[in-house]
Chain A
């Protein structure tokens, strides 16, 4: 038995068109590899799309790829994730399933005592028994797990796969300390493979009766920090029990970190320049992080345009910077102006959440609302369609 395990594709996720394209390329590359490897089936552990109702371009690309997979006779099994889940069922995943392009395995029935009894979806070719639980915003799926009837799942014979889209407390990486996570004990034990998603890390662990708990990592890094940490996307191919992480290096990542402590803007500039010169930037995503407090001058004095120009002159694919922790003693306000827009938004939301004692979920909701509202009309999309798409997306978000 040979199968692929993808997760967190976040198609349509990046605002910058170039990075959105890179994300798309990465997804295509993953599908291409799955076809080349002749896998028996493909698992997608949540967040195929970045929203429940993705833009036309994203949808077209996903359908195109899934159709190619279907035509080759490879079934795709999926669960909804925290981004593409919809309580009302108005999600594009549903459309894909109805079109026969993928099968949602998070299905079951409610028992008389208010438990959820999940059903297995049996892969015809291999006989693998697949089931799973969707992911929801703010880890709200945890309450479903508490109501999960586990006995029949655990006693079912055969090769079993459990798909999930949740962070697990026991396996949470250090840098995601603040992330909500649930206890591993809420999942049914004794499966042969736990196909995880939601946490953007590359990991494979076994804890007690839970073996092969695998997070394949996102198909493409989802933010600045992930570009730094992961460099590229990845997925997993499991060949007769052998778990192999497959990298998806659509663009090389060049990550530059500059310590600006006690330096001048000119010195910072020259340090960045040196790094840009030293590295091969051809087709690369260049991530420049500057941190520390300047001796004199302001972060705004750094001539970023020139630096970006230099990088693009060296054929960089995309250049981005993070100056979140780049400050000067005199003008701290400038730092906020200079930082990446999304990060400023998040930081402001978090500050206000502290003041008004909002829950973490509200911050997440606000982030998602802002993201949805900043969506632009797609090529060829009618005003009325765009409006209705926006309405439906907001309906979904506001539940």
Chain B
């Protein structure tokens, strides 16, 4: 039999009365002053609850300071006496004499299991208490959950999983910002692991450190859902990255090479005349109807050969890199098809020069975007959202890069959401990304950032007001993060755990059709 709800609530209130950590004693909206109860240590970033008659006010500590009933002169006198005379000397009741004050900001107002923006202040002398998981029962798992971590209150971790709507968040771009060693890779691995067997999203990872495939291999669905390309000696199941040069078009080079106008014209002239074999035509110096300066054509030829790793030896085109004149005719469509099936495609770009990586990414991104542009709204809903993971994102989204002209990634940042194509940009230097691009990224996962300008860039473009969080961001330890997103009710502090990724036990394989010999 269910108990009386009123009795249950009273019981709950009685239980939490001893969780009181302080009392509201003043301040203003967004900067509420709380006196800390002695022996209750408040932490930066800690989540607090102020119970009001209509619901609960969710607050967060953003600053800590000392308070005292004594004047500065008295404090100095007492400290002198304690230091020089008797350490046991006390003046007034120690608990009342000095204390800690905390500044709290309003995060949300919780009423009837829903959170809304806070618009009122709790009354004077309202007790504030420690948060418990039951307070945030409004944090539920969305329809297309992308698990980010567990809710964190200061350094304490609550058993409250924080998931975001993956379809929305990924198509509206995600930024992961943090200094090296703060947990960007762990977070990215967790995200990829979580998304591997989910059919609402597909991930394309350009992996300059070649770290993710190995980590994902233990996933029970890795064989079916993870596709790995590497230029040399792939592990069993991995594919040798070969791209047929006939798949290149001049616009793939946007962002990878800075061509002059004349060079661009020459590229297009070759492409228009020779279509799929235009690169070979450039290299073999085939004729063009249009006249170009000899030097222009020589530079175009040299640049292409160098970038694509091609050589000519006795009339034969030799392929030294990933670009090939025979193999890899379907590599880019294969990758895009895998993405359309919701798979995760990881490309080991560790041995690439930066511009080759951009070129490969650009070829794939162009095809994904083009294909998505042809889909009807209904088709789009049935297809997974494609997210392109860009490590060290300023290499393609940096101000200096975009000043030379837009590339496919800046196009996706601007209009990809319409076509269910998003970016997942990872960087330790968000300030290098232009403000308008940052503003287009609706979800930001902020890990510890030491440099002030980097913190500022993030704070200024966050979905929620983080203006008072600078100190908190600076103090984030490894694995601690703040998630700000249009798809979350408030900027959520989370803890990213090193999830235990155990290898799956595979069922025994039978070998129908193979002739089994008697053991030799």
The answer on a CB contact under 8 Å between A208 and B514 is no
**Nearest CB on A from B364, distance (A):** 15
Which residues 480-520 of B have a CB within 8 angstroms of A?
508-509, 511-520
Chain A interface residue number, banded: 35 or more
Known: A116-B511, A172-B334, A176-B330. A109 touches B240 (CB 8 A): no
The answer on a CB contact under 8 Å between A106 and B232 is no
Q: Is B233 an interface residue (CB 8 A)?
A: yes
Q: Is B156 an interface residue (CB 8 A)?
A: no
Q: Is B3 an interface residue (CB 8 A)?
A: no
Of B327, B333, B508, B517, the residue contacting A109 (CB under 8 A) is B517
Q: Is A376 an interface residue (CB 8 A)?
A: no
The answer on a CB contact under 8 Å between B509 and A109 is no
| Distance in angstroms between the alpha carbons of A146 and B519 in the assembled complex | 21
| Distance in angstroms between the alpha carbons of A133 and B514 in the assembled complex | 8
Task: Find the A residue at minimum CB distance from B232.
Answer: A208
The answer on a CB contact under 8 Å between B329 and A186 is no
Chain B residues whose CB sits within 8 angstroms of the CB of A119 once the complex forms:
517, 520
Of B236, B327, B333, B337, the residue contacting A171 (CB under 8 A) is B327
Chain B residues whose CB sits within 8 angstroms of the CB of A250 once the complex forms:
none
The answer on a CB contact under 8 Å between A177 and B232 is no
The proximity string for A residues 166-187 relative to B, scoring 1 for CB distances below 8 Å and 0 otherwise, is 0001111110111001011110
Chain A residues whose CB sits within 8 angstroms of the CB of B511 once the complex forms:
110, 116, 144, 147
Q: Is A328 an interface residue (CB 8 A)?
A: no
**Nearest CB on A from B397, distance (A):** 30
Of B233, B330, B331, B520, the residue contacting A208 (CB under 8 A) is B233
Q: Is A6 an interface residue (CB 8 A)?
A: no
Chain B residues whose CB sits within 8 angstroms of the CB of A89 once the complex forms:
513
Task: Find the A residue at minimum CB distance from B241.
Answer: A170
Chain A residues whose CB sits within 8 angstroms of the CB of B518 once the complex forms:
109
The answer on a CB contact under 8 Å between B515 and A107 is yes
Q: Is B235 an interface residue (CB 8 A)?
A: yes
The answer on a CB contact under 8 Å between B513 and A183 is no
**Nearest CB on B from A129, distance (A):** 14
| Distance in angstroms between the alpha carbons of A184 and B337 in the assembled complex | 18
Q: Is A241 an interface residue (CB 8 A)?
A: no
Q: Is B242 an interface residue (CB 8 A)?
A: yes
Interface centre among A104, A108, A209 (most CB of B within 10 A): A108
The answer on a CB contact under 8 Å between A183 and B516 is no
The answer on a CB contact under 8 Å between A205 and B519 is no
Chain A residues whose CB sits within 8 angstroms of the CB of B244 once the complex forms:
174
| Distance in angstroms between the alpha carbons of A119 and B511 in the assembled complex | 14
The answer on a CB contact under 8 Å between B328 and A170 is yes
The proximity string for A residues 112-148 relative to B, scoring 1 for CB distances below 8 Å and 0 otherwise, is 0010100100000000000001101000000111110
Which residues 334-387 of A have a CB within 8 angstroms of B?
none
**Nearest CB on B from A247, distance (A):** 20
Q: Is B82 an interface residue (CB 8 A)?
A: no
| Distance in angstroms between the alpha carbons of A181 and B237 in the assembled complex | 11
| Distance in angstroms between the alpha carbons of A183 and B223 in the assembled complex | 11
Q: Is B238 an interface residue (CB 8 A)?
A: yes
Of B328, B514, B519, the residue contacting A106 (CB under 8 A) is B514
Task: Find the A residue at minimum CB distance from B239.
Answer: A183
Q: Is A234 an interface residue (CB 8 A)?
A: no
Chain B residues whose CB sits within 8 angstroms of the CB of A173 once the complex forms:
329-330
Known: A177-B330, A181-B334. A170 touches B239 (CB 8 A): yes
Chain A residues whose CB sits within 8 angstroms of the CB of B519 once the complex forms:
109
Which residues 68-94 of A have a CB within 8 angstroms of B?
80, 85-89
Which residues 269-324 of B have a CB within 8 angstroms of A?
none
| Distance in angstroms between the alpha carbons of A171 and B331 in the assembled complex | 9
Chain A residues whose CB sits within 8 angstroms of the CB of B514 once the complex forms:
106-108, 116, 133-134, 144
**Nearest CB on A from B420, distance (A):** 19
**Nearest CB on B from A49, distance (A):** 15
Task: Find the A residue at minimum CB distance from B509.
Answer: A147
**Nearest CB on A from B330, distance (A):** 5
The answer on a CB contact under 8 Å between B234 and A185 is yes
Chain B residues whose CB sits within 8 angstroms of the CB of A178 once the complex forms:
337
| Distance in angstroms between the alpha carbons of A205 and B319 in the assembled complex | 13
The answer on a CB contact under 8 Å between B330 and A146 is no
| Distance in angstroms between the alpha carbons of A104 and B516 in the assembled complex | 11
Interface centre among B239, B240, B244, B330 (most CB of A within 10 A): B330
Q: Is B123 an interface residue (CB 8 A)?
A: no
Q: Is B137 an interface residue (CB 8 A)?
A: no
The answer on a CB contact under 8 Å between B517 and A169 is no
What would 8 A/B residue contacts be, using CB atoms closer than 8 Å?
A87-B512, A104-B515, A119-B520, A144-B511, A172-B330, A174-B330, A183-B240, A184-B234
Which residues of B are at the interface with A, using a C-beta cutoff of 8 A?
223, 232-240, 242, 244, 246, 326-331, 333-334, 337, 508-509, 511-520
**A-B contact sample (16 more), CB < 8 A, given A89-B513, A183-B239:** A107-B514, A107-B515, A107-B517, A108-B515, A108-B516, A108-B517, A109-B520, A116-B514, A136-B513, A146-B237, A147-B511, A169-B331, A172-B329, A185-B238, A205-B327, A208-B232
Report, nearest first, the 3 A-B pairs whose CB atoms are least far apart: A107-B515, A87-B512, A185-B234
